[in-house]
């Protein structure tokens, strides 16, 4: 049973995360189309590299959507058992660790590469003579503190998804 639950969770996470990631990749495409990066050539190679550098951020945010959605979809029809909770709990913890690895180690470097390609400097865009999220500045420190919020959120939303899946329409537990 736990293998069946794990396979169903995996399939649903992959589908939902792929859809959410694809939807999120519209952001840099819209930025290019709107002229937000005036010095960036809009050729296929440059756009592909920009999307590649944006992908880790999109994927970490999409896992935050995909994991709880998969947990909800799988748990709403499954019979309650310790095996179900153990499998779902282990799956959610692994997903949180994957999100943590993305957020803490991969996303910062990819974001710096994205800013370098888009703005010519890893520090990012200049607004009124000041750099947004300047290294060591308040925005940069805030981003560093927030790196672990995605993995924590995967765990919290996973628990909410289990509870929501177990509630009937009248608000009572199944």
Classify residue 146: in a domain, yes or no: yes
The structural domain count of the chain equals 1
DSSP 124: -
pLDDT in tens, 115-124: 888 877 766 6
Per the prediction, the chain carries an average pLDDT of: 83
Classify residue 38: in a domain, yes or no: yes
Q: Is the pLDDT at 169 greater than 50, yes or no?
A: no
pLDDT in tens, 148-161: 788 888 888 888 88
Classify residue 76: in a domain, yes or no: yes
- Give the per-residue pLDDT at 124: 62
Q: Is the pLDDT at 52 greater than 60, yes or no?
A: yes
Q: Is the pLDDT at 166 greater than 70, yes or no?
A: yes
Q: Which residue from 110, 134, 136 is spatially nearest to 124, judged by alpha carbons? A: 134
Rounded Cα–Cα distance for residues 64 and 12 (Å) = 13
Domain that holds residue 116: 2-166
User: How far lies 33's CA from each of 23, 45, 111, 122, in Å?
Assistant: 16, 15, 20, 21
Classify residue 160: in a domain, yes or no: yes
Q: Is the pLDDT at 171 greater than 60, yes or no?
A: no
Classify residue 95: in a domain, yes or no: yes
Classify residue 172: in a domain, yes or no: no
pLDDT in tens, 58-100: 999 999 899 999 998 888 877 778 888 888 889 999 999 999 8
Classify residue 32: in a domain, yes or no: yes
Classify residue 171: in a domain, yes or no: no
């Amino acid at each position: 049973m736990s293998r069946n639950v794990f396979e169903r969770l995996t399939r649903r996470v992959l589908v939902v995360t792929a859809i959410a990631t694809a939807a999120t990749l519209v952001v840099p495409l819209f930025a290019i189309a709107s002229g937000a990066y005036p010095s960036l050539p809009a050729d296929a190679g440059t756009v592909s590299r920009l999307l590649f550098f944006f992908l880790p951020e999109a994927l970490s945010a999409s896992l935050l959507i995909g994991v709880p959605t998969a947990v909800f979809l799988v748990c709403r029809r499954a019979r309650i058992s310790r095996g179900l909770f153990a499998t779902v709990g282990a799956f959610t913890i692994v997903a949180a660790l994957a999100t943590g690895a993305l957020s803490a180690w991969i996303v910062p470097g990819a974001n710096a590469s994205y800013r370098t390609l888009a703005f010519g400097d890893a520090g990012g865009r200049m607004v009124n003579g000041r750099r947004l999220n300047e290294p060591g500045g308040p925005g940069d420190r805030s981003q560093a503190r927030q790196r672990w919020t995605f993995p924590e959120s995967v765990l919290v939303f996973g628990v909410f998804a289990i509870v929501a899946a177990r509630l009937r329409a009248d608000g009572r537990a199944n």
